[in-house]
Structures are given as structure tokens and as C-alpha cells.
Structure 1
Amino acid sequence: MLCRHSVILAGGLLISLGINLFLTPHRLLDGGMIGLALILRYLWGMKTGFSMIMLSLPIFLAVWMMDRRMFLNSFYGMLVSAWLIDWLSPLRGTIHWPILFSALSGGLLVGTGVGLMLRFKTCTGGTDLLAQLIADRYQWNPGILIFLIDAVIIGIGSFILTPVQLFHTFLTISAVGLATSICVKKPQAAL
């Protein structure tokens, strides 16, 4: 139990640092609910973590009916991540890296945070939760599913991005997908 709490806290911290230190200073997007919450932040100044919670509630209601254990673990992961994103938001702008390094660093941090949570059967909710449910049912890699969903979200958010931001956002979600896939990959059996 303590291990799961530690993983959720570590994952939420990595996600929060990736968003606050690297993505928001350059107005980059992630995919999924985080990406949608960032769109709301960039358009109307809404708090990213709070928006994540509000946007994820309909999915959590559906999951409540299907898998209550996953609901509880993921709801907790989403609350911790959302709270850390908003609590650590004063860190925005404290690191001044070029957009390329920020896109890759932010994506690797977010992807590692998400991957740690998925490895312990929890997540930040929203589209990660949908990807985990589909992956468990069909034995697919959740990192690949998250990447595909993220690409759709980026397409939705592309109207608020400059071409440079859009390019670096695709680098970000590629780094997120890579890091998530590495974290959740099951070790191969020895011959």
C-alpha cells in the first residue's frame, strides 16, 4: 500500500514538473485530459489541475460502473496529480530552456510519471484511464494507445498553437509516449 502511494506521489510530481517547468512556459500541449486542461488554461486562464478534474468526471462515472478498484486507484492518482500541478504552478518560468529541450524534457517527465502510475494500475484519469481499460481488455500497450489519443487532442488544440509550438508539441507527445511505453513494458522472459 505504501509503495502505491509513493508511486502515485512520484508520478504526480513528475507530471507536475514536466507541465509547469517545461510545457506551459512555451505554451506547449500534452495530450489527453492534461492537454485539454492546458487548452483551457491558454484560452481562458483556468487552473490546469482543476480543469483536469472537471473534464475527467464523466469518464470516472463510467469507470465506477465497470471497475471500482481501478476507479479508486485512478481517482486518487488524478487528484494527487491535479493538486500538484496547481500547487507547483508558481514554478512556471523558473527554468529558461530553449523550446526543443523543454518539449523533450517535459514530455519525458510527464511520460515517466504516467508510466509509473500505469505500471501500478493507477493513472491520472481521463484518457489514460480509457487507454488502461482498453489495454487490459485487449492486451495492447497503453503507451501506444495514449499516443494515438494524444494526437487527436493535439489536433483539437492546434488552432491555438503557432506552427513552431505545434511541431514541438508533437515532439512532446512523442516523448510522453516513448517514456510511458518504456515504463509499462513487461520484461521478456529469459530463455
Structure 2
Amino acid sequence: MFIFQTLMATIIGSLLVGIGVNGFLVPHHLIDGGILGIALILHYFFEFQTGLTMVILSLPICIFSTRFERGYFFSSLQGLFATSIFIDLLAPIRSQFLVSQWASALIGGVIIGIGVGLMLRYRTSTGGTDLLAKIISGIIPLNLAFIIIILDGLIILAGFTVLEGDSFLYSCMAICTVGLTTAIIEGH
């Protein structure tokens, strides 16, 4: 039963992340944290496919994680592939929701946060920096959330060089909304 629940959480969570990214972040050139944030920066700058870029950037981290978190690795790999597929499949909805940057940051952040929180609740994720942070917290006695904040902060700083001022500020708002919503849904 738990395997079925995890599979459903992976599918629904990945679908929500795909909707949040394509429906609300991409139309206003907003970014999220983690590998997704890097993939979005590369999408805006070089027009790379966001989902495919996530897979390419996350695979080395996933392979490295097998030394530390073998069980979490397999479920995260499924989450990574499902999320990447939904992000690329749902690219056509980028022009469907006509809302302001402010509303997009909040709505997209909530939708992505629900998706990520649901996945984390069932011990799966989108791989990437969440998995890297989990490994680091197992090696260095630092809080997992603190490590994620540091990694996301570095990605936001990288985004500052590519984004316009208002997109940067609304991206920060989206990331905070994703984090808060994720924490609420995950239950911690």
C-alpha cells in the first residue's frame, strides 16, 4: 500500500510542480531554488528545455547519493524523471494563466510547494539539491533546512545576474512561498 501511495504522491506532486513552473513562473521569468532554479536560469538564458536540463544536472548528484542514501536515491530518481517529464510536457500552458508577477509568485509558489511537500511526505523528491542537502546534513551536523537555504541562496545570487530587478524580487517571494508551503504540507 505504501508503494502505491508513494507512486501517487510522485505523480501528483510532479504534475503540480509542472503546472506551477509552466503556468506561473516561466511566463514572468521567475526562478525557484535548487536544480530547478538552475534549469530555469539556463532556460531563460539559452532556451534549454527545463525538464531535460534538470535531469542532466541532477543525475551526477543522484549517482553520488547512492553511497549515502541508497533507498532515497531510487524514489528520488523516479521523482526527478516524473517531474522533468511533466515540466516539459506542460510547456504549452505557459500562456494560459494571465496574472500579475506578484500573483504568479504566490500562486506558483503554493502549487510547487504542495507538489514538493507531498513528495517529501512520502519519502521521495525531485532529486537535485534536496538530495545533496540530505547527504551534506548526514556528513556535517547542520540542519537540513539550513543547508537547503544556503544552496538556494547561492542559486538566487546566480539568478540575480540574469534576472531583471522585479523578477529577482518576485523569485525570492516565490521561493519563500514554496518553502513555507512545502514545510506545511510535509508536516514539519
Q: State the TM-score, normalizing by the size of structure 1.
A: 0.91
Q: Which of 1, 4, 24 matches 1:2?
A: 4
CA contact under 8 A between 1:118 and 1:132: conserved in structure 2? no
Q: Which of 126, 129, 132 matches 1:130?
A: 132
Report how far residue 109 of structure 1 moved.
Answer: 1.1
1:53 maps to what in 2?
55
C-alpha separation in 2, matches of 1:6 and 1:164: 36
C-alpha separation in 2, matches of 1:103 and 1:54: 26
1:118 maps to what in 2?
120
Moved >4 Å (runs of 4+) = 134-139
2:27 maps to what in 1?
25
Q: Is residue 94 of structure 2 the alignment partner of residue 99 of structure 1?
A: no
Over the aligned positions, Cα root-mean-square deviation in angstroms equals: 1.7
Question: What one-letter code is carried by the residue in structure 2 that aligns with 1:165?
Answer: S
Change (3 A) 1:84 1:174: same
Q: State the TM-score, normalizing by the size of structure 2.
A: 0.92
CA contact under 8 A between 1:134 and 1:140: conserved in structure 2? no
Report how far residue 140 of structure 1 moved.
Answer: 3.8
C-alpha separation in 2, matches of 1:22 and 1:119: 24
Give the fraction of aligned pairs with identical amino acids, expressed as a percent: 38
2:149 maps to what in 1?
147
Question: What one-letter code is carried by the residue in structure 2 that aligns with 1:40?
Answer: L
- Number of residue pairs aligned between Structure 1 and Structure 2: 185
Equivalent position SS for 1:122 = coil
Q: Is residue 45 of structure 2 the alignment partner of residue 43 of structure 1?
A: yes
Change (3 A) 1:176 1:3: same
Unaligned runs of 5+ residues in structure 1 are 187-191
CA contact under 8 A between 1:11 and 1:116: conserved in structure 2? yes
Unaligned runs of 5+ residues in structure 2 are none
Report how far residue 34 of structure 1 moved.
Answer: 0.2
